[in-house]
């Protein structure tokens, strides 16, 4: 949980503001998950803060939504290109991803 809160603060993705009567305040909740190794032992604990978006109404509180998703077909295409061109392939774990975030890497 502390890693997630630190990422929010570091990236400036949210600011705590006082509630106002004319605003629709959307709640949030923490989702906890245990990541396990192949042998069943605990690898790490994960926490995600998610918004309770079901309190919103389309065209009133938002106009469009977009969730970037990589399809398995595209992963296969990129891997086959990398293999045929002998490009190095590396794996990384992204802890936090923010739309329109500033990247330094």
Q: Compute the distance between CA of residue 26 and CA of residue 55 in angstroms, rounded to an integer.
A: 6
For the chain, give the percent of residues with pLDDT over 90: 25
Residue 12 lies in domain: 2-62
Instruction: Give the mean pLDDT of the chain.
Output: 80
Specify if 101 maps to a domain: no
25-39 tens-digit pLDDT: 778 888 899 999 999
53-84 tens-digit pLDDT: 776 777 766 777 766 778 899 999 999 999 99
Specify if 96 maps to a domain: no
Q: How many domains does the chain have?
A: 1
Q: What is the pLDDT of residue 44?
A: 87
Beta-bridged to residue 36, according to DSSP, are 42
8-state DSSP, 23 = S
Specify if 22 maps to a domain: yes
Which strand (E) or helix (H) includes residue 2? helix 2-11
Specify if 11 maps to a domain: yes
């Amino acid at each position: 949980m502390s890693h997630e809160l630190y990422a929010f603060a570091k990236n400036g993705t949210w600011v705590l503001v006082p509630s106002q009567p004319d605003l629709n305040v959307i709640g949030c909740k923490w989702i906890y998950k245990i990541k396990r190794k192949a042998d069943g032992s605990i690898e790490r604990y994960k926490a995600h803060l998610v918004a309770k978006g079901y309190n919103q109404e389309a065209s009133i509180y938002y106009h469009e939504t977009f969730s970037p998703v990589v399809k398995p077909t595209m992963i296969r295409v990129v891997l086959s290109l990398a293999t045929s061109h002998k490009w190095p392939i590396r794996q990384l774990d992204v802890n936090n991803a923010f739309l329109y975030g500033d990247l330094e890497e």
